[in-house]
Chains A and B, each alone.
Chain A
Amino acid sequence: MDNVIEGIALCVERGKISKQSPFPPDMKDQDGADEIAADAIKQGVKPDDLLDGCILGMNRIGEKFSQNKVFVPELLMAAKAMTAVMNHLQPFLESGEVKHKGKFVIGTVSGDLHDIGKNLASMTIKGHGFDVIDLGVDVPVDKFMQTIADNPGCFVGLSALLTTTMGNMEKSVKAIKEKYPDTKVLIGGAPVNQNFCDKIGADFYAADPQGATEYLKQNV
């Protein structure tokens, strides 16, 4: 089944969604993530192998992104290809045949309407087999608190892009940590850095989606 894992990994890494999708041009008319995943399931390939293919592909593109070898569009296309695989895995995730690696709640803090970074993190982490609850943009702290209450043991990711909302991020992290000291809180976004993370008492600063994924895997 290694060829299925590799086939999925390649489609995810290159952002090849389906046979008819034009991107990337050098894979035109080849089967994409969608077809390979559908065929594999028909042939009785273990669903976990499809997830492994996703993880492998997302790891490869994530590393390239961290090294500035590719940029946001390539990562978005990879996430789209990964989503095509995940759609085939959904019934197995629902039946429990494939287990989620953990639960991750994510949103941009209140006052922040930018969500590109959050979406990238959300999709990448989903592609690594986590159950991702995406609360969207401009999320008030109460909503984070309620979601944590409803999902014990979840990780929480806060994203910020507008510099003016960094104060809100601090307030959100403090409120979460006060009530749920054991909940691991990750922060990310262009204006955020390690110093800021240390200062506001968050558990981890993720410089990019790959960094967030590594941290989650080590801490589940």
Chain B
Amino acid sequence: MKSILPVINEGKVLLSDGAWGTFLHRKGLQAGECPELWNVENQDAVLEIAQSYIDSGSDLIETNSFGGNPLKLAHYGLKDRAAELNEAAAAISRKAAGPDHWVLGSIGPTGQILMMGDVSEDEMLKGFRIQAAALEKGSADAICIETMTALDEATLAVKAAKESTQIEVICTLTFDLTQTGEFRTMMGHSSEEVVIALKEVGADIIGTNCGNGFSNMIGIVKEIRTVDAEIPIMVQANAGAPIIVDSETVFPETPEQMAALVPELVAAGANIIGGCCGTTPDHIRAIRNVLG
């Protein structure tokens, strides 16, 4: 277990990795297949992704466990294998990361809505606990709860990770730019509400991921920084909003375009920078060159 906070407190800006989901599809994962099952059935492909990000200069890499919540795995009939698949995910990333780089255990949303009564708080907590504990067991250095839009679910996930592990907990939400020019999550939460709620449940690092490209991320980081000057912020941006070219999903932002915005993102107050959907090792390398 390696702590991230002391390094951030020294003033260093860290580089995380790029996309996993879109990368897995490029490696042959078919629509309708469970990505997390590859952690046991196609380990080499998963390891190659992890390794490619280490090779392009990532300080921290994530794990192939975004959909590893029992509630999501249930769709594939794999609910009972949640612990095994998450532990394997962390172990693969650790293999690539070695002792010198950080492994962030990825936890995505359950896809269910608490306020609609889709699922109970207890059931949700239980699923997040299983996932977080397994990621720690597989040697993740921190838990990275990401792409959240509902604050009740995000705070439950942070609580579960805090209770069931000894490692640091990151939580990032996805914001959209509204017609009034402010950022809100799909469920309507402002950055201020998000910062306050996540700090209250003990998140060590907060931030934003996915979205529609790097330039919006600068605006979101600025909003977070006006609420809190101290809390470490992580940003993992999509390579722009996707477009379709010849039946393929293409993310339009080039490594150069993303890298060009990095100084402004750092100036706005970001402490960890990386990519989300559509970003590749080339994007990460380009950002590495800017961060030095």
Contact indicator B244/A196 (Cβ below 8 Å): yes
A-B contact list, 10 entries, CB within 8 Å:
A71-B186, A72-B186, A74-B188, A76-B115, A80-B116, A116-B186, A164-B249, A166-B242, A166-B244, A167-B247
Q: Contacts A113-B111, A196-B243 given: A167-B32 contact, CB under 8 Å?
A: no
B1 within 8 A of A: no
**CB under 8 Å from chain A, chain B span 12-27:** 21-22, 25
B179 on interface, CB distance cutoff 8 Å: yes
| Residue B267 lies at the interface, judged by CB distance under 8 Å to chain A | no
Which 3 A-B pairs rank lowest in CB-CB distance, beginning with the nearest? A111-B31, A71-B188, A68-B178
| Interface status of A162 (Cβ within 8 A of chain B) | yes
Beta-carbon contact of B249 and A163 below 8 Å: yes
Complex contact A167–B113 (CB within 8 A): no
Interface residues of A in 125-165 (CB under 8 A from B): 137-138, 140, 162-165
Asked if B196 is at the interface (CB within 8 A of a chain A CB), the reply is no
Q: Tell yes or no: A110 within 8 A of B by CB.
A: yes
* Contact in complex: A164, B244 (CB < 8 Å): no
- Which A residues contact B (CB, under 8 angstroms)? 67-68, 70-74, 76-77, 80, 110-116, 137-138, 140, 162-168, 170-171, 191, 193, 195-196, 199-200
Known: A111-B31, A138-B32. A68 touches B180 (CB 8 A): yes
Additional A-B contact list (17), CB under 8 Å, known A71-B185, A164-B21, A167-B249: A71-B186, A73-B115, A73-B188, A74-B188, A76-B116, A80-B116, A113-B75, A113-B111, A163-B22, A163-B238, A163-B249, A163-B251, A165-B31, A167-B31, A171-B247, A191-B242, A193-B241
Q: In the complex, what residues of B have CB within 8 A of residue A71's CB?
A: 184-188
Q: Judging by beta carbons under 8 Å apart, are A114 and B249 in contact? A: no
B32 touches A110 (CB 8 A): yes
> For residue A165, which residues in chain B have a CB less than 8 angstroms away from its CB?
31
Q: Which residues of A contact B113 (CB under 8 A)?
A: 76, 116
**What is the CA–CA distance of A116 and B116 in the complex, to the nearest angstrom?**
11
Please give me the residue from chain A that is nearest to B277 by CB atom: A163
Q: Do B111 and A115 touch across chains, with their CB atoms under 8 A apart?
A: yes
Q: Give A193 to B252 CA distance when docked, in angstroms.
A: 15
Whether B75 and A170, one on each chain, are in contact in the complex, defined by CB atoms closer than 8 angstroms, is no
Min CB–CB distance B179 → chain A (angstroms) = 5
- Closest A residue, CB atoms, query B35: A164
Give CA–CA (A49, B50) in the complex, Å. Answer: 60
**Alpha-carbon gap, A162 to B72, bound state (A):** 14
Whether A170 pairs with B244 at a CB distance below 8 angstroms is yes
Over the window 79-118 of chain B, the binary record of Cβ atoms lying under 8 Å from chain A Cβ atoms (1 yes, 0 no) is 0000000000000000000000000000000010101100
| Interchain CB contact under 8 A, B111 and A164 | no
Judged by a CB distance under 8 angstroms, whether B248 is at the interface is yes
Give the distance in Å from the alpha carbon of A30 to the alpha carbon of B110 in the complex. Answer: 34
Asked whether any CB of chain A lies closer than 8 Å to the CB of B278, the reply is yes
Determine the distance from Cα of A76 to Cα of B186 in the docked complex, in whole angstroms: 12
Task: Please state if A72 and B242 are interface contacts (CB–CB under 8 Å).
Answer: no
Which residues of the partner chain A approach B277 to less than 8 Å between Cβ atoms? 163-164
Partner among B184, B186, B187, B241 whose Cβ is within 8 Å of the Cβ of A191: B241
